[in-house]
Structure 1
Amino acid sequence: MENEAVLQDIRTIYARVGGIYGYRRMKLNIKRLYGKTVNHKRIYRLMHIAGLQSVIRRKRKRYVPSSAQYVAENRLNREFTASKPNEK
């Protein structure tokens, strides 16, 4: 009976946030909203039985690709082409 009540609270929170909470955040919100102290392993088990999973978001790229600002001139003018093997 108690597990069904906890599972009902989990489903309510899960639907409200769009399914982005996992068992860790779910534990914090159940304690905050309903004042119930529930073990995280119990929440994990109940979410697994009910088929509720958190949405895993992709990480964003932290850089912006840019073009080269300064290209130095070729002062050496080296030639890297060989007319036959073992010449250079």
Structure 2
Amino acid sequence: MRDRRDIYLDILYRGLLNARSAGYAGDAAQAATEADHLHNLPELLRRLDDEPLHAFYWEGMRTSYLGESKPEYAVRFTELWEELDAARRSA
């Protein structure tokens, strides 16, 4: 099982690709949704032992993203979120 740090880095990478794709497509709303999803990831990476913060990402930020994002963008995180959930449960 990979650690949360590596999973968050992959979420950041895919999210940046999503934002770039949305921008090239002229979809400013989706690009903003991607940026909103990603902006706290550096703090999550700095505070890997802060369980309440990681719970906030899982229950708050991720859920908010799912409610705002177009499905074709959100589906790109499915495998990473499955990995993150497993890492979260074993922490």
Same fold judged by TM-score > 0.5? no
With CA pairs under 8 Å and 6+ residues apart, which has the higher RCO, 1 or 2? 2
Higher helix share: 2
TM-score, structure 2 length as denominator? Answer: 0.33
Select the structure of larger CA radius of gyration: 1
